[in-house]
Amino acid sequence: MNTIKDEDKIQHNNQGTVYLILWALCLSHLFNDTFQSLIAASYPLLKDSLLLSFTQIGLIATTFQFASSIFQPIVGWYTDKYPQPYALPIGMTSTLAGIILLSQAWNFPLILVSVALIGFGSAVFHPESSRIAYIASGGRFGLAQSLFQVGGNAGSSLGPLLAALLIAPYGQKNIAWFGIVVFCAILFMIPIGHWYARKLEQIKLPKKTEQKKSKTEHLSLSKYNIIVSVAILLLLVFSKNVYTVSLTNFYTFYLIEKFNVSVQYSQIYLFIFLFAVAAGTIIGGPVGDKIGRKYVIWVSILGAAPFTLLLPYVDSLWETCVLTVIIGVIMASSFPAILIYAQELVPGRVGTIAGLFFGFSFGVGGIASAFLGSLADHGGIELVYDICSFMPLLGLITWFLPNIRTK
């Protein structure tokens, strides 16, 4: 297989935006992240059945996040050089093995192995699927990335709902039934690989001098400014993900402790929050295409701060639910804008940048899960939200990002 140095060459061969592929990727991402979110949704059940501490819950999340984050940049870098059309079904096969093992795990080490397999499946899936979305965008990169990511966020919201309906009432072994759906998802992803393989066969790489000229004309920033800008974007991802993890992994425990709701109802409220995240994701990409991604990043990170600062002090369940929905919608629009902004900073490295940012996002989530779990054990679950409420204020560093415009 020929190596690819510049995905723009592929994209220019498209006849407009290929919506069929984008929606197929959206659905594939929904499948992938639904199965991943079953991990977090199963925490209360696993905690009770295996008598786990909050620290162990945090370590489960850390294992999953690290298995994904460590491999994603590596997969992205490798597939920039050697594209893998069938990476999606290959990654989903690892997820299938993890789901089946999770349903049968009777001790803590087996749970760690099962979530590591699911994390590795995610590491294989994200960089190459993000590249396919870029290729199918027809130049509407923000829209394509939003459609791709909204599937993942929708899948993340479905996990807790499915757990509440199918796992919590019947037990851990019922997770195995999702293996049938995972197998169907593998079959669904194979035609996407066929389309991508045909696209790769059409590519004729530009000469090295043409590639160099294209990159020089594309961006006028110095190497130092690019590195600093990428570092700022990673710090923004850090602030967003620490707060998001506090809700994704510990929101159910917060509601159970503060408002005395049942496990089943807490998962439904988690579904509402994650559905709000899915709804918000579709905003960031298309708006960034029109007005510039820096402005979207400003609003989506810093704009959530007033609501996160207020959340620990409200004393009713419905007010808590409303605030988390607002927070979810606002913060969700940031990641598509951040990712495309970074890909515009470093043209020709779509897979590497996708792997770096997805991997960093998962890695931050893993570290934050372990830290917040330990914090909840020692200081109480409400202390987690007191501390995390300040994280969106890091959005102030968006000021230092350059204003870039690309054709």
Range with lowest mean pLDDT among 33-42, 80-89, 213-222, 225-234: 213-222
Q: Look at residue 326 in the predicted model and tell me its pLDDT.
A: 92
> Please, what is the Cα angle at 324 between 57 and 253, to 5 degrees?
30
Q: What is the DSSP letter of 107?
A: S
Say if CB 101 and CB 39 are below 8 A apart: no
Residues 6+ apart with CB under 8 A from 306: none
- Asked whether residue 135 is domain-assigned, the answer is yes
Q: Note the pLDDT of residue 5.
A: 46
The pLDDT of residue 196 is above 50: yes
Residue 2 maps to a domain: no
Decide if pLDDT at 288 tops 70: no
Residue 262 CA: distances (Å) to CA of 44, 58, 253: 11, 21, 10
| DSSP assignment letter at 205 | P
Domain count along the chain: 1
Q: How many CB atoms lie under 10 A from the CB of residue 193? A: 18
Query: Which residues are CB-contacts of 384 (< 8 A; sequence separation ≥ 6)?
Result: 246, 250, 254, 372, 375, 376
pLDDT band at residue 302 using 50, 70 and 90 as cut-offs: confident
How does the average pLDDT of the chain come out, rounded? 78
Residue 275 domain-assigned (yes or no): yes
User: Does any domain span residue 282?
Assistant: yes
* pLDDT at 338 > cutoff 80: yes
Burial class (CB in 10 A: 0-12, 13-18, 19+), 171: exposed
CATH code (residue 49): 1.20.1250.20
- Note whether 250 and 381 are within 8 A (CB): yes
Say what the pLDDT of residue 309 is.
92
- Answer with the residue of higher pLDDT: 338 or 58: 338
Q: Which of 296, 295, 292 is nearest to 406 (CA)?
A: 292
Q: Considering the domain boundaries, does residue 290 fall inside one?
A: yes
- For residue 68, pLDDT beyond 80: no
Report how far residue 27's alpha carbon sits from residue 184's, in angstroms, rounded to the nearest whole number.
Answer: 12
Residue of higher predicted confidence among 112 and 200: 112
CA 350 to chain CA mean position, Å: 16
Residue 141 structure tokens? 């990169």
Closest CA to 112 of 163, 58, 157: 58
Q: Give a yes or no: residue 407 inside a domain.
A: no
Q: Smallest Cα–Cα separation from 18: which of 191, 155, 186? A: 191
Q: Would you say residue 207 has pLDDT above 60?
A: no
Confidence of residue 162 (pLDDT cuts 50, 70, 90): confident
- The Cβ-side half-sphere exposure at 96, using a 13 Å CA radius, reads 15
A 10 A CB-CB count for 209 gives 8
Amino acid 177: pLDDT: 79
pLDDT tens-digit map of 130-155: 888 888 887 777 778 778 877 777 77
pLDDT for res 323: 92
Which of 191, 245, 197 has the alpha carbon at shortest distance from 62?
245
* 72 close to 165: Cβ distance less than 8 angstroms: no
Tell me: pLDDT of 218 over 70. no
pLDDT at 45 over 80: no
Is 359 within the bounds of a domain? Answer: yes
Task: Read off the pLDDT band of 57 (50, 70, 90).
Answer: confident
Residue 304 falls within a domain, yes or no?
A: yes
Q: 117: domain range?
A: 7-400
Find out whether 37 and 159 touch, Cβ atoms under 8 Å.
yes
